[in-house]
A and B are shown apart, each in its own frame.
Chain A
Amino acid sequence: MAVPDLKTIQKKVTAGASYRKLVAAAEAGQPICVACAGVPNEVMHAMGVFPIYPESLAAISAGIGKAGPFFEEARARGLSSVICSYTRCGLGICWTRESAFGPLPPPTLAIADVNFCSLHGTWWRYLEEHFGLPTCYVDMPATDDPDAPGYVEYYERQIEAMVEFFERHTACRLETDRLHEAVKQSDRAGFYWKTIMELRRQRPSPVSFRALAGQILPMVISLGDPDAADYYEALHAQYVEDAKEGKTPAKGGERYRLIWNGIPIWHHLQLINYFEERGANFVWEPYTSLNWGNKTKTGRLDLDRPFHTLAEKYTNVITNKTIARRFAYFDEAIRDYAVDGLVMFSNRSCRPMSIGQHELIELIQERHDLPVLIFEGDQADAEGFNWDDARMRIDGFIEVLEGRAARRRG
């Protein structure tokens, strides 16, 4: 089968297109569910439940400079600025029923999962109270061993409970064929995403983290949708071509290969471009592989055991792993991707991502002797961000990398 045309398919999966699909779904009478990142959306897609993702809308709003009114709404309702900016902006979006693209249709139910972030529980409680929505809380308890069979089975039961919740509160029913198709499309999308990530092992890597920050959206909100799978197939084909031609986003050639640890700084994504202008390219981030890219033992989803395979994938996320396990993840990436340095985003909004960073840095430097740049700031709230200060840190870090390269050359 021919690879879909990238430009054509891209138009179907943009943030604007996703918004239009949402409006159309609401007009067609589909249930609209306020969902958090990390909920298995393959199941919602299979059941005909259309999700709204406040976190994604918050990130997009911050990325295009339209988050201000939502933060103001949250502030007016008494939310302190020390609360996660996704939560503040996301609640602002839900309270105002507005988005960067237009008004949001009224939601009919809500679902939260704590696999990425335990704050989801509190956040969705607000939504439940404000909108009086039936709300499902998908549980993923803290554990030292998220790979244990019992843990994965527990989450499998949670997915079943999620289906029961939707069937109880809507007219939607889960049909095996539709679930099978959704998991198949998710597997296709995940496969191509994973293969794109692996392409970045090449020197130079043809992929820009800045571009990925936008390209990841269908992976977060549309898994199960064949358009998302087609998009990643086309995107993969494009990157394969770029790799063959030796293309790289790093200006003047890829001189330094870096890891970015954390969520992108959505309100100043040009910061990534500045690294690229200075010859540095991000080749790996835990964020872009959070639980995207078929994170099962085989790297594929098992179509014969859809709930189990989704449970295996959704429980395999770095944020529920111990520091030692997180280090192993970095250790492998540093070797596989021939990394020259790390940028650690100490994100005041995201405890699950930022916690243990200091210990992680110590472990990494003990084994790899790599320079580390620490960025302090916030993922979506630009308050306090100073571009001069950011540029100073990046310039200083590039000077350190240059010095190390010069020493290696003798």
Chain B
Amino acid sequence: MVVCGVDVGSRTAEAVVLVDGDIAGYSVIRTGPDSAATAVAALEQALRATSIRSEDIEFTVATGYGRVVVPFAQRNVTEIACHARGSHHLRPSTRTILDMGGQDCKAIRCDERGKVTTFLMNDKCAAGTGRAIEVMASLLQVPLETVGPLSLDAEGRAATISSTCVVFAKSEVLALARQGVPTAEILAGICDGVAERVKGLLRGVGVVEDFVISGGISKNVGVVRRLERTLGVTSHVCFEPQIVGALGAALFARDFLERASAERPGPSVPCAPAASR
């Protein structure tokens, strides 16, 4: 059984291909202006190192903000459900998920089957999102992957950044840099701010362990450590936290296909794309 999950987010898109429940290939690419083309590119890249052809895929579920325009998906499911499903699959004891994406953050609680029981999302503002960290890293000319480790070098000496709004925070960060405040201290202030905002969301749903963080920001050790400390819990991050949503989508695809097969016994055939709901 070959199924696919595609997660078209605001900053990145991911595809995961499962063969009989095992990950056969996956990809993480930048989202372009055309979500449909991005989804196709993500799938092509996921298949590149495999012998699977796109026509071998029997069912595809799309998720993410671009989920309704993925041309080859038969169904779409929200990333709320997909991140819960993916996290639960990788770690069945998962009960709380924090998906820290490029455009928004979601605090999600799930049950013992990985089904969402409640969730909270941040509002539309970019504060507390991956995009905010990207903007600041670019402003300070620091590689994105070094933001977290550098911020930990200045623990206890974090610069105060009072603006929640990314646009205003940029001005504050520039002013701090001009005053000669060390970059690590500014980054510590940025990571403190992100952790603080996300904490409110998590408290809203209530953190029950195991606590899993998915999405791009989970690669930022500065934010993750601060969150763990402030919440008093240990977090778990999978080998590639950006594909958790796409993995969840692929698992839903498997479910849909199994259900369809059970309802219509006979040889498995690729499903024609259906109109997105």
Contact = CB atoms under 8 A, between A and B. Distances in A.
B81 A399 contact: yes
A403 interface: yes
Interface string B86-130: 000000000000000000100000010001111111011100000
B65 A392 contact: yes
B80 A396 contact: yes
Interface string A263-295: 000000000000000000000000000000000
B65 A400 contact: no
A395 B124 contact: no
B118 A389 contact: no
Interface residues of A, number: 18
Contacts of B120: 374
B81 to A, nearest CB: 5
A400 B123 contact: no
Contacts, number: 44
Contacts of A372: 118
Contacts of B81: 396, 399
Interface of A is mostly: helix
Nearest to B115: A403
A393 B121 contact: yes
A372 B120 CA distance: 9
Contact of B121 (A392, A399, A403): A392
A257 to B, nearest CB: 18
Contacts of A389: 104, 121, 124
A384 interface: yes
Nearest to A390: B124
Interface in A369-402: 371-372, 374, 376, 384-386, 388-389, 392-393, 395-396, 399-400
Contacts of B115: 403, 406-407
A391 to B, nearest CB: 8
Given A400-B116, A403-B115, A403-B117, A384 B78 contact: no
B79 to A, nearest CB: 8
A256 to B, nearest CB: 15
Nearest to A399: B81
Contacts of A406: 115
Given A403-B115, A403-B116, A392 B80 contact: yes
B78 A396 contact: yes
The 7 A-B residue pairs with the shortest CB-CB distance, nearest first, are A396-B80, A403-B115, A376-B123, A395-B78, A396-B78, A399-B81, A386-B124
Given A395-B78, A399-B81, A403-B116, 13 more contacts: A372-B118, A376-B123, A385-B124, A386-B124, A388-B65, A392-B121, A393-B121, A396-B116, A396-B121, A399-B78, A400-B117, A400-B119, A403-B117
